[in-house]
C-alpha cells in the first residue's frame, strides 16, 4: 500500500514537535524576565518615593521661616515634623501594600501563563495523530489534477485538529482496503496501527462490530444499482460489482433481502475501476451510493445500508482517547464553520456535500 502525505514530509513531525517545545521554553523565559523587570521597577519607584519624602521632611524642618506661612512659622517645628512623618509613614505603608498586592498578582498571572504554555506544549508534543482518506468519494476526499489529496473531509479534519491543538498528519489510502475490507470485514491499517483513524466512514453493522465511529459528519446515502444507459439487467443473475472498502456491500443486499448470485460478484478497489469493468462488459451492474455515478443509468429501488452517520472510524480501544474529534466537530458546528464548509463543497470541491444538519 502506498501512502502519501500532502503536508508532512518524513522527519518533519519530530522537527515540528521540537520547534514547538523550544518556542514554548523561550516564551516561558521571556515571561519570567518580564516579571523580574516589573518587580525591579516597583522597588526602584518605592525607593525614589522614600527619598523624596525624606527630602521634604528636611526642607520643612530646616528651611528658612519665610518660606512658610506666618501661621505655620509659629507652630512648634517638632510637632509639624512629627505630623509630616506620620502622614508619610501612612502613605508609604499604603503604597508598600499596593506594590505587594501588585507583585502577588503578577506572580499568579505568570504562574497561570506558564501552566497554559505547558499544557499547550504537552498537547503538541504528545498529540500526534495520523488520518487516512480514500481517493474516490468527491467532495469528501479525492486526488486533484496535481496528485494531491483534497476534499471537504480533509478541510474539516484540519480545522478540528487546529481547534483541539493536535498535531495531525493526513495520508492517502490509495487502495481502500487498509481502512476497510468488506469481504474480510477488517481494517489492516487501523488494526496494524498504520493510522489512528479513517475519515468519512459510514457506520454499518459489520463495521460497528469491530470499530467505533467518532463524530457525526455525514448523512449516509442509500445504495442503488447502476447499469449502462439503456441496458436491462436481471439483478438475480447479474454480475454485480462492489467497491471493496465501501458500505454498499454484498452484506447490505443480503440484509435487504435482495437475491443475487454471490459467486458472480466482482470486487474492485475504486469506483473508477468498477466503471471500467462495466464498460468492458466484465460486470452487468454496480452497487454503490445512489449519487455516485450521474453518467450511468440508476435503477429505481434504493437500499438502506447504514445504521448511523459517517465520521472517523477508529479502533474501539482508542475511542475514548479520540473523543477530541467529537469535541472539535461540535465546536465547528457551534461556530458556523461546519455549515460554511459544507455549503461551499460544490464550489471548492466540485460536488455537493452530504453533511449532517448542524
Which of 162, 168, 173, 167 has its CA nearest to residue 140? 173
The backbone torsions φ and ψ at residue 149, rounded to the nearest 5 degrees and listed phi first, read: -70, 130
User: Does the structure show a pLDDT above 60 at 79?
Assistant: yes
Task: Lowest mean pLDDT of 86-90, 168-172, 225-229, 245-249, name the range.
Answer: 86-90
User: Does the structure show a pLDDT above 70 at 126?
Assistant: no
By DSSP bridging, strand 285-289 and strand 211-218 are unpaired
The backbone torsions φ and ψ at residue 83, rounded to the nearest 5 degrees and listed phi first, read: -65, -45
The reply to whether CATH 3.40.50.12500 applies to domain 223-303 is no
**What mean pLDDT is predicted for residues 116-137?**
77
Q: Exposed (0-12), middle (13-18) or buried (19+): which is 37, by Cβ within 10 Å?
A: exposed
The reply to whether CATH 3.40.190.10 applies to domain 128-220+308-349 is yes
User: Does the structure show a pLDDT above 70 at 75?
Assistant: no
| Distances 215 to 114, 198, 335 between C-alpha atoms, Å | 32, 12, 16
User: Does the structure show a pLDDT above 80 at 221?
Assistant: yes
Answer with the residue of higher pLDDT: 153 or 48. 153
Report the C-alpha gap between 306 and 270 in whole angstroms.
20
Report the C-alpha gap between 15 and 23 in whole angstroms.
12
Average pLDDT, the chain: 83
346's grid cell: 460544490
The pLDDT of residue 274 is 95
Task: Lowest mean pLDDT of 58-62, 83-87, 190-194, name the range.
Answer: 58-62
131's grid cell: 488520518
Strand ranges (E), the chain: 128-133, 136-137, 141-143, 149-150, 167-172, 197-202, 211-218, 223-227, 240-243, 266-268, 285-289, 297-303, 310-315
| Distances 347 to 62, 336, 353 between C-alpha atoms, Å | 86, 18, 10
For residue range 309-321, list pLDDT tens digits in order: 999 999 999 999 9
The residue behind cell 452530504 is 354
For residue range 281-336, list pLDDT tens digits in order: 999 999 999 999 999 999 999 999 999 999 999 999 999 999 999 999 999 999 99
Report the C-alpha gap between 185 and 94 in whole angstroms.
75
Query: For 159-193, b where at least 16 C-beta lie within 10 A, e where not — what string?
Result: bbbebbbbbbbbbbbbbbbbbbbbeeebbbbbeee
Confidence grade of residue 76 (pLDDT, cut at 50, 70, 90): low
Which residues are CB-neighbours of 213 under 8 A, at least 6 positions away? 201, 202, 203, 207, 308, 309, 310, 311, 312, 313, 314
Across the beta sheet with 167-172, the strand order is 167-172, 128-133, 197-202, 310-315, 211-218
Answer with the residue of higher pLDDT: 106 or 70. 106
The answer to whether the Cα torsion of 44, 46, 49, 53 is positive or negative is negative
Amino acid at each position: 500500500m502506498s501512502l502519501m502525505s500532502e503536508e508532512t514530509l518524513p522527519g518533519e513531525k519530530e522537527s515540528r514537535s521540537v520547534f514547538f517545545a523550544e518556542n514554548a521554553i523561550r516564551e516561558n523565559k521571556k515571561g519570567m524576565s518580564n516579571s523580574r523587570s516589573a518587580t525591579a521597577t516597583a522597588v526602584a519607584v518605592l525607593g525614589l518615593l522614600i527619598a523624596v519624602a525624606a527630602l521634604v521632611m528636611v526642607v520643612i524642618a530646616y528651611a528658612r521661616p519665610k518660606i512658610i506661612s506666618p501661621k505655620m512659622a509659629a507652630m512648634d517645628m517638632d510637632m509639624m515634623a512629627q505630623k509630616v512623618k506620620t502622614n508619610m509613614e501612612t502613605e508609604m505603608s499604603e503604597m508598600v501594600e499596593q506594590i505587594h498586592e501588585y507583585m502577588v498578582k503578577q506572580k499568579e498571572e505568570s504562574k497561570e501563563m506558564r501552566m497554559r504554555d505547558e499544557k499547550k506544549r504537552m498537547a503538541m508534543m504528545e498529540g500526534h495523530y495520523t488520518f487516512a482518506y480514500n481517493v474516490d468519494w468527491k467532495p469528501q476526499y479525492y486526488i486533484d489534477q496535481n496528485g494531491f489529496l483534497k476534499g471537504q473531509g480533509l478541510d474539516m479534519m484540519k480545522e478540528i485538529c487546529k481547534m483541539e491543538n493536535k498535531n495531525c498528519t493526513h495520508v492517502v489510502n490509495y487502495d481502500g482496503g487498509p481502512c476497510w475490507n468488506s469481504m474480510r470485514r477488517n481494517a489492516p491499517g487501523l488494526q496494524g496501527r498504520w493510522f489512528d483513524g479513517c475519515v468519512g466512514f459510514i457506520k454499518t453493522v459489520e463495521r460497528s462490530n469491530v470499530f467505533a465511529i467518532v463524530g457525526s459528519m455525514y448523512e449516509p446515502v442509500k445504495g442503488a444499482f447502476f447499469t449502462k444507459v439503456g441496458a436491462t439487467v436481471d439483478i438475480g443473475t447479474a454480475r454485480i460489482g462492489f467497491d471493496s472498502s465501501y458500505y454498499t456491500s454484498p452484506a447490505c443486499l443480503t440484509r435487504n433481502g435482495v437475491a443475487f448470485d454471490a459467486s458472480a460478484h466482482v470486487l474492485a478497489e475504486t469506483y473508477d475501476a468498477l466503471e471500467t469493468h462495466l464498460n468492458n462488459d466484465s460486470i452487468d451492474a454496480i452497487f454503490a451510493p445512489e449519487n455516485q455515478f450521474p453518467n450511468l443509468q440508476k435503477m429505481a429501488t434504493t437500499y438502506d445500508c447504514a445504521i448511523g452517520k459517517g465520521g472517523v472510524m477508529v479502533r474501539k480501544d482508542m475511542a475514548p482517547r479520540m473523543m477530541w474529534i467529537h469535541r472539535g466537530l461540535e465546536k465547528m458546528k457551534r461556530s458556523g464553520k461546519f455549515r460554511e464548509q459544507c455549503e461551499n463543497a460544490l464550489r471548492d470541491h466540485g460536488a455537493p456535500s452530504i453533511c449532517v444538519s448542524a
